[in-house]
A and B are shown apart, each in its own frame.
Chain A
Amino acid sequence: MTRERQPGQRRFSPASIGADVVLLAWFLFSLFPLIWLVLLSLKSESEQISTFFEFTPTLSNFATVLSDEGARLTSVNFTEALLTSVLNCVGAVLVSLVIGVPAAYAAGRWQYKGSGDVMFTILSFRFAPELMVIVPLFVIYNQLGLFDTNVGMIWVLQLVTMPLIVWILRSYFQDLPPELEQAALLDGYTRKRAFLMVALPLVRPGIAASALLAFIFAWNNYVFPLILTGSSHTPVTVAVTRFLGGGGQAFYSLTAAAAIIAALPPLLVALSIQRYLVRGLSFGAVKA
C-alpha cells in the first residue's frame, strides 16, 4: 500500500489537504528544535544569547568543543568523552554479539526446556528500572575497583545491548528454514560448520540491524554512566550535560555544538538501518 491510493480515497479533496497540513504541522514541531540547535551551534559566543535568527555563522564552536582549550574552559574533555563512548559502545555490542548469537540460535532453532524462561528473563532487563541494579552495582563497583572504568561500563551496558540482540536475532533464526542446515549436514559438514556456513550468513542483516540498534541505545544511555563513572571515563551523554551545569558561565553555543556532535553517530547509524528499524525497536514483535 505504498505508492497507491488507499481504496476509498479521493485525490485532492479538502480532507487530503487537511491531512497534509496536519502532517506538516507535526514535522514542523519535530524538526524545528533540531534546526534551531544547528543554528545555535553556529552562533559565536557573543551572539549566542543576543539574537535569535540573525547572526553570522561560525564553526568555531565545534572546534572549541573538541579542543584542549575548550576542555580547560569548560572543564569537560569532550574529545575524550567521544572516545569513551565509542569504546564502551563498540565493546558492549561485541560482547553481546559473541554471547548473544549462540543463545539466540539455541532459542530460535530448538525450543529447549527453559528457553522460554531465559528469553523472558532477558526481556525483563529491557523493562526493569535501571536504578534497581545501579545502586548495588555502585557499591560493588567501588569494592571491585570497576567504578569509572570502561570495563565496568561495558558490563553494565549488557543490560541494554544483550536483550536487543538476543531477541531480534532469535526472531531471525526462527525464520530460517531448518532444511538449509540439514542439507549442509548431509553434504558432510558438522553442525558447527553448517551454522557458520549457512545460518550465520543468512542472518547477517539481522546481526547488522540488531548490533547497530544496540549501539545506538548504548550510546544514548545516560543513567548508567551518570552514576557509575567519575571524571575520567565519562561518555558524551554525561559530558554534554556538564556544559550546562556549573555556576558562572553558560556555554550555550558550545553546548549546542557538543550536543550535535554527540547526537550525530546514532543518527547516522539509524539512517543506515532504516529498513530494519521496526523489527528492532519492537524486539522482533513486529516483523514488518
Chain B
Amino acid sequence: MGSLSVRGLTARYGKTVALHGIDLDVVDGEFFVILGPSGAGKTTTLKSVAGLVDAVEGEVRIAGRDMTGVEPYARNVAMAFESYALYPQKTVEQNLASPLRSGRTGSWSVAEQSERIRQVTTTLGIEHLRGRFPRELSNGQRQRTALGRVLVRPADVYLLDEPLSHLDAKLRAAMRAELKQLGEMSRTTTLYVTHDYQEALALGDRVGVLRDGRLVQVGTPQQVWHEPADTFVARMFGQPEMNLFSADLTADLAAVPEGGTAARSRRGGITVGVPASVSGSLSGSVAGGAAGGSVLLGIRPRDLEVLTGPEPSDRLVLRGRVTLAERLGRLVELSVDVAGESVIAVTDDQRVREGDPVSLAVPWEQVHIFGGGAGLDTGNGAGTAAARLGSGAPVSPVVDVSAASGGDR
C-alpha cells in the first residue's frame, strides 16, 4: 500500500561514502530489483530505506510520508536479511509470531496470529517445521522462514536482501519461480536486491543497476537488456558477457546512404556504419570531436547466428575461424577469430567444429555503439562509463575480411 520514493540518498559508514545521492521512485505494488556487484551498496540502500543506517542524508518517503528521523519500528517496513537474522532461541513459529506480537503491525489475537502463521508457513511449505529452531533448519528452510517473517505482517514496503544467494543453483531456480508467484500475490511494493542478473530479469517489474553507490540505469528488464546505458550495464546482463570491440570513428570511407560516418576497428575487420543521428550524439562524449575518436561496439553472443546459407544483406556479417567450441548441453559456446578479434557466440548449431571457417550474422539493431573511453579492450573488468547510443543501420552492409588476408575492404 505504499509507494517508495528516494531522493538524494547518501549514506556513510565512518569515512567511506557508500551511497552517492540515489534517486528512486517505486510505484505502489511494484517489484523493483536493484542489481549490482558486491560492495555496490545494495544492502546499504535497503537498510537506509529501513532506517537502520545512522549517517544518511537525503529523503526517503514511504506511502508519501517523509521518513527522516523516523525509527525503523515506525516505518511499517519488513525486511528479509541476507543472513536471515532468525532469532536463534525462538522456534520458527515464534520467529514468525514476533512481528505480530510487537503491536506495531496491527493487533492480533492469539488465534489470529496462529492462523496467519499457518497460512504463511503453508504457502512457503514450511508448516511442518514450525516447532523447529533455526539451527535445525537447512539453508533453504531458513530462507523461507526469513521470508515468512516478512510476509506474515502487512507492510508498506518489503525489502529483500539477496534472499537466494546462499542457496545452491537448483534451489535458487526453484525459489525464483516461487518468489514470482508470491510477488504477484502480495502486491506489496518490494525492493529486491541481488547480484544475479537472471533474478533481476525474471522477477523485476523494473531493474535498477547499482555501481559503487550510484544508480547507473533504471528501466524495465527489456530496456536494460536491449538498451544498456553503458558497457557496465551491458556486461551485467547475459552470460557470456557482451562482446565489446574498440573501433575508430573516422570521417571517410564507406558510403553510407544515410550519410553517416563509418567506424572501423583498429585491426581492420568489423566495419559498421553509424547514422548521423547517432554520431551526432556521440560527438559530445567521444574524445576527438565530431569527425573522429574511438567508440565501442557491442554484440551479445546470443544475438550472433551461425550462417548456413547465403549471406544476408540486411545484417552485419562476420567471417572468421572457430578457435574453441565448448559444448554446454544443448548450446555451444564458440570462440571465433574474426580478423584478430575474438568473438564469442552462442548457438545451438551442433555441427560447428574447431578450426572450421564460419560466418556469423547479427541484425543491425543488435549492434550497440558506446562512446568509448580511450583504448578499452573487451573483457576489461571495469567497463567504460560511456553513454549508450543507437546502433548504426547503413543500407549497404559492410563486411569484414577473413582472418587469412587481414587488411580492409
Which A residues fall within an 8 A CB radius of B?
177, 179-180, 182-191, 193, 198, 201-202
Contact = CB atoms under 8 A, between A and B. Distances in A.
A191 to B, nearest CB: 8
Contacts of B103: 188
Nearest to A183: B85
Contacts of A202: 88-89
Contact of B81 (A183, A188, A189, A201): A183
Contacts of A193: 102
Among A180, A183, A191, A202, max chain B CB count under 10 A is at: A183
A6 B225 CA distance: 57
Contacts of B99: 186-188
Interface in B310-350: none
5 contacts: A182-B85, A185-B72, A186-B78, A187-B149, A190-B71
A253 to B, nearest CB: 50
A187 to B, nearest CB: 4
B51 to A, nearest CB: 8
B83 interface: yes
Interface of B: 47, 50-52, 71-73, 75, 77-79, 81, 83, 85-89, 98-99, 102-105, 149, 153
A138 to B, nearest CB: 46
A6 to B, nearest CB: 31
B79 A183 contact: yes
Given A201-B89, A202-B88, A202-B89, A186 B50 contact: yes
B81 A190 contact: no
Nearest to A180: B85
A188 B83 contact: no
A188 B104 contact: yes
Nearest to B99: A187
A198 B71 CA distance: 18
B102 A187 contact: yes
A188 B79 contact: no
B71 A177 contact: no
Contacts of A191: 71
Among A179, A180, A189, A202, max chain B CB count under 10 A is at: A179
B98 A187 contact: yes
Given A182-B85, A187-B73, 18 more contacts: A177-B85, A179-B81, A180-B88, A182-B47, A182-B72, A182-B81, A183-B87, A185-B51, A186-B72, A187-B98, A187-B99, A187-B149, A187-B153, A188-B102, A188-B103, A190-B73, A191-B71, A198-B87
A114 B85 CA distance: 30
B89 A185 contact: no
A201 B94 CA distance: 15
A180 B146 CA distance: 12
Contacts of A187: 73, 98-99, 102, 104-105, 149, 153
A188 B73 contact: yes
Contacts of A177: 83, 85
A196 B105 CA distance: 20
B140 to A, nearest CB: 19
A180 B104 CA distance: 18
A189 B97 CA distance: 13
A198 B95 CA distance: 11
Contacts of A189: 73, 102, 104
A191 B51 CA distance: 13
Nearest to B78: A186
Q: What 8 A-B pairs are tightest by C-beta distance, nearest first? A: A188-B104, A188-B102, A187-B99, A185-B72, A179-B85, A183-B85, A188-B73, A187-B98
Given A201-B89, A202-B88, A202-B89, A185 B83 contact: no
A78 to B, nearest CB: 43
A187 B72 CA distance: 9
Contact of B73 (A179, A186, A201): A186
Among A188, A189, A191, max chain B CB count under 10 A is at: A188
Contacts of A185: 51-52, 71-73
B146 to A, nearest CB: 9
A177 B134 CA distance: 15
Nearest to B50: A186
A109 B75 CA distance: 23
A182 B52 contact: yes
A185 B52 CA distance: 9
A164 to B, nearest CB: 25
Contacts of B89: 201-202
A191 B71 CA distance: 9
A183 to B, nearest CB: 4
A181 to B, nearest CB: 9
A176 to B, nearest CB: 11
A201 B71 CA distance: 23
Contacts of B153: 187
Among B51, B79, B86, max chain A CB count under 10 A is at: B79
A185 B79 CA distance: 10
A85 B340 CA distance: 88
B261 to A, nearest CB: 55
B137 to A, nearest CB: 16
A95 to B, nearest CB: 28
Contacts of B86: 183
Given A185-B73, A186-B50, A180 B105 contact: no
A182 B89 CA distance: 16
Contact of B79 (A180, A186, A190, A198): A186
B89 to A, nearest CB: 6
Given A185-B52, A187-B149, A188-B99, A179 B71 contact: no
A182 to B, nearest CB: 5
Nearest to B105: A188
Contacts of B79: 182-183, 186
